Chain A
Amino acid sequence: MSLRIELVSPEKIVFEGDAELIIARTSDGEIGFQPDHVPFVGNLVSSVVRIALSDGSVQRIAVHSGFVEVSDNHVALLCDVAELAEDIDVERAKTSLANAKNSLATETSSSEAEAAIHRAEVRLEAVAGL
């Protein structure tokens, strides 16, 4: 018994596979799904989704807001943006983190810059686990 995972962004299917466990973060906190979980729908927040695949490896994916739907051992993650940990450009993430911090330093309150910082941090966190 395993979970069928489908992680899609508006532009493409980012990841598909069978897993034993998937951990995501919704607006209420982290949540893990194992086979035979009750049907569930939740709002995803920017975070690193960790998937323990059936073959024993772990897939890390940086996602930025979206939804998770679980039913009949089928997990669908709909993300606005999703990047596999191995596809993330570390240098770019670091630069955008630095840029966002700079713009936050000049402007006192900028939700955009804060969101940019958070996104960059999530990316780096996803890479750090590799």
Chain B
Amino acid sequence: MPGGQERTLRRRINSVQSTKQITRAMELIAATRVVKAMNRANAARPYSSKMTGVIEDLAAGGVGIEDPLLRSSEDVSCIGFVVITSDRGLAGAYNSSVIRSAEKEIMATQTEGKAYKLVLVGKKAIDYFRFRNYDIEESFTGMTDTPSYEDARIVAAKVRELFVSEEVDQVILAYQEFISMGTQRVAVRKFLPLESMQTVASEGGGDADSRALFEFEPSPEGVLSALLPRYVESRLYSALLDASASEHANRQRAMKSATDNAEELITKLSRALNRARQDAITTEIMEIVGGAEALGDGSDKESDQHDQNETEITV
């Protein structure tokens, strides 16, 4: 039935059209969110670079490395994993790529006969690991969209507690690093123990030795023990910000291709619709012509019939 086909096509075009509107809106929202997240990441940079500066000063002051957060044990028996994903989906391969890398690491840990503890940030990671019966030590939601420093502090406190109480000997952080609008990369990094002060200082680009000697208040050790927890927080905060920027960039890309696909589909469907309509018209004409000819056989006045045909067609 040609008419029926037309109707179904029209209905499909409408539904694709409304899907397209939704994905377009999500794309635009994600685009503004990426910019916001990037700005936040930039705004957070002075603090962390200043913190590295203080660490350089401490290294120059020759602080003894005696802090639980710097404890590096030779024999690692349990590894903590912090996995940062988003709460919401529709962000392309963003969540699955982070989760896949993290799971690979966890499996490697298990085959080495070591235990693991999972600290999950974001609903997607929680859903995934819970469904597969992993032991989840702690999970956090509602912070990955626009992470605040307070969020980082809460997660960092948990991670620190695990590490300082020696429940885990190492902490690995898995998240998606934001390199540019077009490039994001999964990063699986050692988070704790912190590298020794000297390594941090040299990574910071400062030449600690040439610096003047510092006065410390209350003492170099006192400053260090107050500084290290904040250093952990600040690193976690920048990871969260990176993850959030990556999430929005991924979502924007995913939604852009969805919108493009919808457009393509609409073009295809409207071509099919046009053909179906043309088919219907042609069939109708054929029927009319056929009918007229059948009538015309018994009649003398052929020209009259012609006129009638033409009027029918123009309708």
Contact = CB atoms under 8 A, between A and B. Distances in A.
Contact of A11 (B44, B53, B211): B44
The 7 closest A-B pairs by CB, nearest first: A42-B217, A10-B149, A12-B43, A39-B214, A8-B47, A40-B215, A26-B217
A39 B47 contact: no
Interface stretch (B120-128, B226-234, B283-291): B226-234
Nearest to A38: B215
Contacts of A65: 226
Nearest to B237: A10
Given A10-B234, A78-B50, A43 B223 contact: yes
A69 B217 CA distance: 10
A80 interface: yes
A123 to B, nearest CB: 17
A28 B212 contact: no
B169 to A, nearest CB: 28
14 contacts: A6-B50, A11-B47, A31-B217, A38-B212, A39-B213, A41-B58, A41-B223, A42-B218, A69-B53, A71-B212, A71-B214, A76-B53, A78-B230, A80-B230
Interface of B: 40, 43-44, 46-47, 50-51, 53-54, 57-58, 61, 148-149, 152, 211-218, 222-223, 226-227, 230, 233-234, 237
Interface residues of A, number: 25
Given A10-B47, A10-B233, A41-B223, A28 B218 contact: yes
A43 B217 contact: yes
Contact of B54 (A13, A26, A27, A69): A69
Interface string A72-92: 000010101000000000000
Interface class of chain A by DSSP: strand
B46 A41 contact: no
Interface in A44-69: 65-67, 69
A9 interface: yes
B141 to A, nearest CB: 21
Given A78-B50, A80-B230, A11 B215 contact: no
A71 B230 CA distance: 21
Nearest to A44: B226
Contacts of B227: 67
Nearest to B39: A12
B57 A39 contact: yes
A28 B215 CA distance: 13
Contacts of A11: 40, 43-44, 47, 148-149
A69 B55 CA distance: 10
Contact of A9 (B47, B61, B233): B47
Given A10-B237, A80-B230, 12 more contacts: A9-B47, A12-B43, A12-B44, A27-B218, A39-B214, A40-B214, A41-B216, A43-B223, A71-B214, A76-B54, A78-B50, A78-B54
